[in-house]
C-alpha cells in the first residue's frame, strides 16, 4: 500500500483529495507566489482527523501545510512541493459561548465575523476584526496573530486568546492556557502558538475572550486632508487628547483613488489622505465630536460624522474596500510594517519618497492608532512576480522601518515573502532560539516547512 493509499484508508471517504486540479485550488493563498504541487489535500472535520494526518505524516516524513480560508498575505499557507495540505475550513463549530464568563470555545474554521455575530446575540463581541473578517477564519487569525480595525483599543488576536487545543507534529494533543482572565502557571504556550504560522502545531480549538458590545453603534467620522502628514498629525492629537478611539484608520491618495475608480465614492482632487475613526465608549458621540474638532484643527478640509448606523457602516466600508480595490490595479506585494506611533509621519513620507525614487506605485493604508502601515506595491497582472524595482522599494521600506524602531510585520506574519529580510530584525541569538523551539515541537521539520523562521 502506498503512503497516500494508507492516508485515504485512515480517514472517512471524501476527506482526502488527490485530483491535481482540485488540490491546486487549495495550494494558494492571496499572494502572487507560485505554490508547490501537493500530494493531496485533507478536508479535516474533526480533531481526530488532524491527529490521524499528523501521525501518518510523522511516520512517512511528509510535510504538512495547515490552511484556513487562504486569505493570508505573506505566503504562509502556500503549498510546498510534495506536501499534504491540511484544510481546516470545515471545522466550523462554536462549541460553547458563555455570556457569564465572556468566553467562547471555537473550532479553527469558524469565520471571524460569524463568531462576532454569535457573540452580539448575547450583548458581547469578538474584538479582533481584520479587514478580511467576513472570509478569514479564527484558525488563520491565530496562526498570524491578526489584528484588524479595532486593534487600537482591543489589541491583536493574542490579546483575545485564552487557551488552545493543539495537535503536535507527532499526533499528540496539547491543551494550553485556561478559561480564566488571569493565569501564570508555567510558560505561556498559548502565546507561543499564536503567531507561529502553523510551524509548531495545528490548532484544533481555541478558547477566546469576548468583550461587552457597545450599547449603540459607534458614531463614525471621516476626515479628508490635503496631505498624509496632516492626517498623521491629527492621529497624534487624537491619541494625546486621550480620546481612546476604538478605530483609527488612515488611507492615502493612491488607495482612495483605487476605491474611487471602482466604486465612485466622490473623491475630491485635493484630498491626499483620509482618516476614519470611531469611539465605542459610553460617551462615544462626544468623543467623536472631539476627534472631529482635532481633525479640523490639524488641517482637515472636510469632516463628516455619521448620523445613522447605515452611514457609519458605509464609512467603514470604504476602509474595508481598500485591498480588493488594489487587487483590481494589478498583482500586489502587501506589507505590514509597524513603527512607534510617533514615527508614523516619518514613515509615511519615507514611503512616498521611496515610491518616487523607484518608480513604483505604492498604495498605503494604516491602522494609524498603533503605527501599523500596509504599503501595497502593485505591479502588472502579466508578471509572475514583482520586478526588480518593486523588490528594491520594498527592501528600502523595511530598512527604514527598522531604523525607526519598528518591525517587519505587525499582523500578517513572515510566511515566505519576508524571509529575505528576517535576519535584519532577528539577530543570530534570536535565530538560534527560534530554531531550538522549532526542534522541540517539530523535530522532523514537517510542519509548514520554510515558513516564519
111 Cβ contact list (under 8 Å, min separation 6): 69, 92, 133, 134, 135, 136, 137, 138
pLDDT of residue 181: 87
* Rounded average pLDDT over 241-250: 95
- What are 20-56's pLDDT values in tens digits? 999 999 999 999 999 999 999 999 999 999 999 999 9
Per-residue pLDDT tens over the stretch 133-153: 999 999 999 999 999 999 999
Q: How confident is the model at residue 1 (pLDDT cuts 50, 70, 90)?
A: low
pLDDT at 137: 98
- 204-235 per-position pLDDT tens digit: 999 999 999 998 888 899 999 999 999 999 99
- Would you state the pLDDT for residue 36? 96
Strand 300-305 relative to strand 220-225: parallel, antiparallel, unpaired? Answer: antiparallel
Give me 285's grid cell.
458621540
Q: Look at residue 80 and tell me whether its pLDDT is greater than 70.
A: yes
- Options 3.60.130.10, 1.20.1600.10, 3.90.550.10, 3.30.70.2190; which CATH number does 218-321 get? 3.30.70.2190
pLDDT score for 219:
85
3-class DSSP state for residue 318?
helix
As a residue count, the chain comes to 453
Q: Output the pLDDT for position 213.
A: 95
Architecture of domain 94-212: 2-Layer Sandwich (3.30)
Average pLDDT over every residue of 420-436: 93
The pTM score is 0.94
| 94-212 and 218-321 agree in CATH topology | no
pLDDT digits (tens, 9 = 90+) for 403-421: 999 999 999 999 999 998 9
CATH C-level class of 330-435 = alpha beta
Under 8 Å CB-to-CB from 178, ≥6 apart: which residues?
162, 163, 185, 207
* Residue ranges covered by each domain of the chain: 3-87, 94-212, 218-321, 330-435
Average pLDDT, the chain: 95
- Burial of 434 per CB tally in 10 Å (0-12, 13-18, 19+): middle
In tens, the pLDDT along 431-448 reads 999 999 999 999 999 999
What is the gyration radius of the CA atoms in the chain, in angstroms?
Answer: 22
CATH 3.30.43.10 fits 3-87, yes or no: yes
Amino acid at each position: 500500500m502506498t503512503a497516500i493509499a494508507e492516508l485515504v484508508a485512515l480517514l472517512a471517504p471524501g476527506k482526502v483529495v488527490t485530483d491535481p486540479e482540485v488540490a491546486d485550488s487549495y495550494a494558494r493563498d492571496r499572494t502572487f507566489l507560485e505554490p508547490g504541487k501537493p500530494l493531496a489535500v485533507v478536508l479535516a472535520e474533526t480533531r481526530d482527523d488532524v491527529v490521524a494526518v499528523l501521525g501518518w505524516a510523522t511516520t512517512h516524513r511528509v510535510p504538512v501545510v495547515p490552511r484556513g480560508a487562504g486569505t493570508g498575505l505573506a505566503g504562509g499557507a502556500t503549498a510546498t512541493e510534495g506536501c499534504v495540505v491540511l484544510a481546516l475550513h470545515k471545522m466550523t463549530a462554536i462549541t460553547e459561548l458563555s455570556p457569564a464568563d465572556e468566553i467562547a470555545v471555537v473550532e479553527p474554521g469558524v469565520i471571524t465575523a460569524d463568531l462576532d455575530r454569535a457573540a452580539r446575540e448575547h450583548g458581547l463581541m469578538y474584538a479582533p476584526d481584520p479587514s478580511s473578517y467576513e472570509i478569514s477564519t479564527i484558525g488563520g487569525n491565530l496562526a498570524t496573530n491578526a489584528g484588524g480595525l479595532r486593534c487600537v483599543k482591543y489589541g491583536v488576536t493574542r490579546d483575545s486568546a485564552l487557551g488552545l487545543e493543539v495537535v503536535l507534529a507527532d499526533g499528540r494533543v496539547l491543551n494550553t492556557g485556561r478559561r480564566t482572565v488571569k493565569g501564570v502557571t508555567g510558560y505561556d504556550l498559548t502565546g507561543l502558538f499564536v503567531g507561529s504560522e502553523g510551524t509548531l502545531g495545528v490548532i484544533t480549538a481555541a478558547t477566546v475572550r469576548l468583550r461587552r458590545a457597545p450599547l449603540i453603534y459607534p458614531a463614525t467620522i471621516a476626515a479628508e486632508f490635503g496631505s498624509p502628514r496632516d492626517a498623521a498629525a491629527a492621529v497624534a492629537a487624537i491619541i494625546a487628547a486621550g480620546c481612546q478611539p476604538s478605530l483609527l484608520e488612515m488611507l492615502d491618495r493612491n488607495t482612495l483613488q483605487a476605491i474611487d475608480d471602482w466604486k465612485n465614492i466622490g473623491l475630491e482632487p485635493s484630498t491626499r489622505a483620509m482618516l476614519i475613526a470611531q469611539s465605542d465608549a459610553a460617551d462615544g458621540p462626544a468623543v467623536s465630536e472631539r476627534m472631529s474638532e482635532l481633525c479640523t484643527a490639524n488641517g482637515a478640509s472636510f469632516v463628516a460624522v455619521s448620523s445613522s448606523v447605515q452611514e457609519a457602516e458605509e464609512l467603514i466600508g470604504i476602509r474595508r474596500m481598500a485591498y480588493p480595490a488594489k487587487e483590481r490595479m494589478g498583482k500586489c506585494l502587501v506589507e505590514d510594517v509597524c513603527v512607534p506611533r510617533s514615527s508614523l509621519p516619518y514613515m509615511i513620507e519615507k514611503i512616498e519618497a521611496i515610491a518616487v525614487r523607484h518608480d513604483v506605485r505604492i498604495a498605503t493604508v494604516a491602522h494609524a492608532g498603533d503605527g501599523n502601515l500596509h504599503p501595497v506595491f502593485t505591479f502588472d497582472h502579466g508578471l509572475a512576480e514583482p520586478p526588480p524595482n518593486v523588490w528594491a522599494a520594498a527592501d528600502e521600506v523595511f530598512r527604514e522601518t527598522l531604523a525607526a524602531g519598528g518591525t517587519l510585520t505587525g499582523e500578517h506574519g513572515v510566511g515566505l515573502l519576508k524571509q529575505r529580510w528576517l535576519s535584519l530584525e532577528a539577530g543570530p541569538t534570536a535565530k538560534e532560539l527560534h530554531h531550538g523551539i522549532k526542534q522541540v515541537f517539530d523535530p522532523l521539520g514537517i510542519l509548514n516547512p520554510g515558513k516564519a523562521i
